[in-house]
């Protein structure tokens, strides 16, 4: 007997793993790695704050607890967006 899915999957972005070196996430079935060296905002953040991720529209990632916005294009073309951390 094969089970059929109930309802539809509405999750479009999720954190899948946090390592000592960075954060892994999936957005629209594509996996991204955010190393702390390039995304230092996550390094000392609470795990619950990192997992508190929202997808606005189709490309805008937002972490409300960290007041952090990132666009998918930033993740895919990091060289075009030199990130500054103060």
| Poorest-pLDDT segment among 10-14, 20-24, 28-32, 72-76 | 10-14
Which of the four pLDDT bands, split at 50, 70 and 90, describes residue 12?
confident
Mean pLDDT value across residues 19-31:
94
Contact between 54 and 41 under an 8 Å Cβ cutoff? The reply is: no
Q: What is the pLDDT of residue 83?
A: 63
Confidence of residue 78 (pLDDT cuts 50, 70, 90): confident
Gap between the Cα atoms of 28 and 59, Å rounded: 9
Q: Which are the contacts of 39, defined by CB distance < 8 A and separation ≥ 6?
A: 22, 23, 70, 83
Model confidence pLDDT, tens digit, residues 30-57: 999 999 998 999 999 999 999 999 999 8
Q: Where are the domains of the chain?
A: 13-80
Would you put residue 19 in left (φ > 0), alpha (ψ -120 to 50) or beta?
Answer: beta
Specify the fold of 13-80.
Answer: NE0471 N-terminal domain-like (3.30.2020)
Dihedral (Cα; 60, 73, 38, 84), 10-degree rounding: -80
Structure confidence at residue 3 (pLDDT): 59
Of 20, 15, 11, which is closest to residue 51 (Cα–Cα)?
15
Phi then psi for 58, rounded to 5 degrees? -105, -10
Average pLDDT score, the chain = 86
């Amino acid at each position: 007997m094969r089970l059929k899915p109930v309802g539809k999957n509405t999750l479009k972005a999720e954190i899948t793993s946090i390592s000592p070196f960075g954060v892994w996430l999936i957005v629209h079935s594509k996996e991204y790695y955010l190393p702390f060296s390039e995304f230092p905002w996550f390094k000392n953040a609470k795990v619950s704050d990192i997992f508190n991720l929202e997808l606005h529209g189709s490309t805008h990632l937002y972490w409300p607890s960290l007041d952090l916005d990132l666009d998918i294009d930033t993740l895919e073309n990091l060289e075009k967006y030199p990130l500054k951390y103060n």
